[in-house]
Amino acid sequence: MPDNLPPAFVAYPRLPGHQLLSLQGVDAVAFAHAQFSSDVTALPLLHWQWSAWLSAKGRTLAVFQLLRLADDHVLLVLADGDADAIASQLQRFVFRRKVKLQVHADLAVAGAFTAPEAAAGAAIALVGSQGWELDLGSNALPRTLRIGPVEAFPASDEAEDAAFALAWRQADLRFGLPRLAESQREVWTPQQLGLDRLNGYSVKKGCYPGQEIVARTHFLGKAKRAVQLLHTAAPAQAGDGVQQDGGALGTLASVAGDLALAVLPLETGDSELQVGNAVAQRMPLLDGLAR
């Protein structure tokens, strides 16, 4: 069984695919609070939390980091991209609220497998005059995320970018953070994706899209499936089925190399799992990424 420790990389290469969407204006916090799964109004300034945007049926459209940078500025870090499409869809709900949505091509997201210099937990640290540092790891697997002007993070070799992006994505999965390909959007509830492990949704705040489904599942204890980390012995992709004893058991929701997050029944036998014709071995999830 590989230890899946990240290889050594130069400090702060860009994270390909990560995009930034800002909500600015006097109604930015109220708008985000009404649209997303987390309790945005309870989030202190210069802190961040995990959040999600759900469909009316309580299915997850996107999982992201939500940063409260000012009373009138909320920033979303979208690891799975699609910022333009999300901004366009959100715009339909703005109505008369005083909030402006903007996709930031002028900013870049970079990371490092090192402990942050100043950020800790959910607290955001300022880096220079135009950037922010976030703690995206734990003692078991330290990581730092930085956001700043594009020119602050020069592009590196394409092969190095790809290797770093894979290592980062695998680290996400080890923490139980789902990375959703387009085929897996609007498929899973937050409970099935394990967003409770990340404090990624609230069942106590006011209404938001999908809130009724989320709250009902929580309070009635009807969640029957949860996310499990697997090591796959052969290449796999999101949407592939997981079998046990010759029968269908669950589905891969996220894949990164030889690691995958599978949505499986809460109660399963101890016999071997397979993805396709290859063995898939259970691995423990890392704690420490809840914010």
Q: What is the pLDDT of residue 224?
A: 87
Q: Which two tokens stand for residue 67?
A: 């940063």
Amino acid sitting at position 85: A
Q: Which two tokens stand for residue 140?
A: 């078991």
pTM: 0.94
| pLDDT(1) > 50 | no
Per-residue pLDDT reduced to its tens digit, 73-85: 999 999 999 999 9
Q: Residue 242: how many CA atoms within 13 Å on its side-chain side?
A: 28
Per-residue pLDDT reduced to its tens digit, 14-68: 998 999 999 999 999 999 999 999 999 999 999 999 999 999 999 999 999 999 9
C-alpha dist (Å) from residue 273 to 176, 218, 244, 250: 19, 28, 5, 10
Q: State the sign of the Cα–Cα–Cα–Cα dihedral 10, 167, 186, 194.
A: negative
Is the distance from CB of 217 to CB of 191 less than 8 angstroms? Answer: yes
Q: Residue 64: how many CA atoms within 13 Å on its side-chain side?
A: 29
The residue with greater pLDDT, 157 or 138, is: 138
Per-residue pLDDT reduced to its tens digit, 190-217: 999 999 999 999 998 989 999 999 998 8
Per-residue pLDDT reduced to its tens digit, 232-279: 999 999 999 999 999 999 999 999 999 999 999 998 889 999 999 999
User: What confidence tier does 5 reach under pLDDT thresholds 50, 70, 90?
Assistant: low
Q: State the sign of the Cα–Cα–Cα–Cα dihedral 182, 238, 258, 267.
A: positive
Measured distance CA(146)–CA(125) in Å, rounded: 10
